């Protein structure tokens, strides 16, 4: 295939990008820096570009000097590993010196700097991530297989797949994540076999790294085929020992692109088991709260009334009810119309505050103490049951008090 050019890519011709490249070239001359990774890969695939990474022959201190000389902000984000973040026009650019691995332990590597583009490409994970482009948009393929893999929508390891994985066990999950996002058809057979062979090393990874990578995978437009492969190969069970069948996951993925909701459909349904699984993944408190909010009686879009939804929102909050409605939609996808109406209700309904308090109770002659709390609790239950009426609060409170005294 002919070598493509990215000369017309909007991110490459942007003023901020040109300033960063000009700063590096002023310090190190032509071909001192090339774009690498996602920006090149996504451009060649016709996908949007969010992050721009640059590889350079300059060592980190020289990169810092070059950026400062050009009046650009330079942040030493990882000098030991050769990484400096440049900021131009409020946009970050991660700049990393060409490297080769000296030692690896499956989680992190000790690196040495190099000036050899091929040597740098040889330590990267996949051919599609080892493509480079210079400031003029000329594309370079040091592994000789990156462009072919782009065309075939194939995710294949650079060099020996097993060795790449042993350098960093997270590459097992990255293999599946990248296939879900960029692959087509069955995963690369050699890569899949290596992932299965090396899967025992997944236990060496921190839970935070696993959950972050897993959620990225589940955010893919259609992760179902990839997750099915993970289930058949035993990888999914190693990550989520509590996971059951994936029918619920298929249903959820069909109605929601939210990776956390998709994850919830792979986790057990009881509060205790869910809590154990979620804590095993070291999810954030916010993520844990959302997963816990999904526990409870199933909502049925066929019978669920507006007043019931308002009562749930008052008791559980908008996020929890919105999530539970998505779960209900996964069970009854044909009732999208009812789901849409209830979701709009959740989003737009102004949640009221309890309209009475201790002052109103005291005005009825009730002494402060347990009786006050009991009366307010009874009022709240009655108020919710009648769908949050906006008037008659004092009269309702008095009637409840009379009933208690009678």
- The 3 state secondary structure assigned to 111-144 is EEECCCHHHHHHCCCEHHHCCEECCCCEEECCCC
Which has the higher per-residue pLDDT, 52 or 401? 52
Please name each of the domains of the chain with its CATH number.
1-152 (3.30.460.10), 158-283 (1.10.3090.10), 306-348 (no CATH), 358-405 (no CATH)
Q: What is the mean pLDDT of residues 137-147?
A: 97
Q: What is the 3-state secondary structure (H, E, C) of 177-240?
A: HHHHHHCCCCCCHHHHHHHHHCHHHHHHCCHHHHHHHHHHHHCCCCCHHHHHHHHHHCHHHHHC
CA distance readout (Å), 229 to 4, 65, 118, 328? 33, 48, 32, 26
Give the burial string for 155-180 (b: 16+ CB within 10 Å, else e): bbbbeebbebbbbbbbbbbbbbbbbb
Count, in order, helices (H) and strands (E) of the chain.
22, 9
Beta strands 73-78 and 139-140 are unpaired
305-341 pLDDT, tens digit per residue, is 999 999 999 999 999 999 999 999 999 999 999 999 9
In degrees and rounded to multiples of 5, residue 298 shows phi and psi of -65, 140
pTM of the shown model: 0.90
Helix crossing, 189-197 with 224-233: angle to 10°? 50
Residue 274's pLDDT is 79
- Rounded Cα gap, residues 142 and 133, in angstroms: 11
Residue 42's pLDDT is 97
Answer for the pair 17, 51: CB distance below 8 angstroms, yes or no.
Answer: no
pLDDT band at 272 (very low <50, low <70, confident <90, very high): confident
- Rounded Cα gap, residues 193 and 77, in angstroms: 35
189-235 pLDDT, tens digit per residue, is 999 999 999 999 999 999 999 999 999 999 999 999 999 999 999 99
pLDDT band at 271 (very low <50, low <70, confident <90, very high): confident
């Amino acid at each position: 295939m002919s070598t493509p050019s990215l000369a017309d890519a909007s991110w490459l011709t942007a003023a901020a990008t040109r300033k960063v490249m000009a700063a590096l070239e002023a310090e190190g001359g032509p071909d001192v820096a090339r774009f690498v990774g996602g920006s090149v890969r996504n451009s060649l695939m016709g996908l949007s570009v969010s992050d721009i990474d640059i590889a350079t022959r300059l060592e980190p201190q020289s990169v810092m000097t070059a950026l400062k000389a050009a009046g650009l902000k330079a942040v030493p984000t990882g000098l030991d590993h050769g990484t400096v973040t440049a900021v131009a026009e409020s946009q970050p650019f991660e700049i990393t010196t060409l490297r080769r691995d000296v030692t690896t332990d499956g989680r992190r590597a000790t690196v040495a700097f190099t000036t050899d583009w091929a040597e740098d490409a040889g330590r990267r994970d996949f051919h599609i991530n080892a493509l480079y482009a210079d400031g003029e948009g000329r594309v370079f393929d040091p592994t000789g297989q990156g462009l072919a893999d782009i065309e075939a929508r194939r995710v294949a390891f650079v060099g020996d797949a097993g060795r790449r994985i042993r350098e960093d066990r997270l590459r097992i999950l990255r293999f599946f994540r990248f296939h879900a996002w960029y692959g087509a058809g069955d995963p690369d057979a050699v890569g899949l076999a290596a992932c299965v062979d090396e899967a025992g090393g997944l236990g060496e990874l921190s839970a935070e790294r696993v959950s972050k990578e897993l959620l990225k995978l589940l955010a893919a437009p259609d992760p179902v085929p990839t997750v099915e492969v993970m289930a058949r190969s035993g990888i999914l069970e190693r990550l989520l020992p509590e996971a059951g069948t994936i029918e619920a996951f298929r249903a959820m993925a069909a109605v929601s692109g939210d990776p956390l909701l998709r994850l919830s459909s792979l986790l057990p349904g009881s509060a205790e088991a869910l809590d154990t699984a979620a804590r095993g993944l070291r999810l954030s408190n916010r993520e844990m709260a959302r997963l816990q909010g999904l526990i409870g009686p199933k909502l049925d879009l066929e019978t669920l009334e507006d007043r019931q939804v308002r009562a749930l929102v008052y008791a559980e909050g908008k996020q929890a009810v919105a999530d539970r409605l998505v779960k209900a939609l996964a069970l009854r996808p044909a009732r999208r119309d009812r789901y849409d109406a209830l979701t709009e209700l959740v989003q737009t309904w102004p949640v009221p505050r309890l309209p009475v308090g201790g002052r109103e109770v005291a005005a009825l002659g009730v002494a402060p103490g347990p009786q006050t709390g009991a009366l307010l609790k009874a009022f709240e239950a009655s108020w919710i049951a009648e769908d949050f009426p906006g008037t008659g609060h004092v009269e309702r409170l008095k009637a409840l008090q009379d009933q208690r005294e009678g």
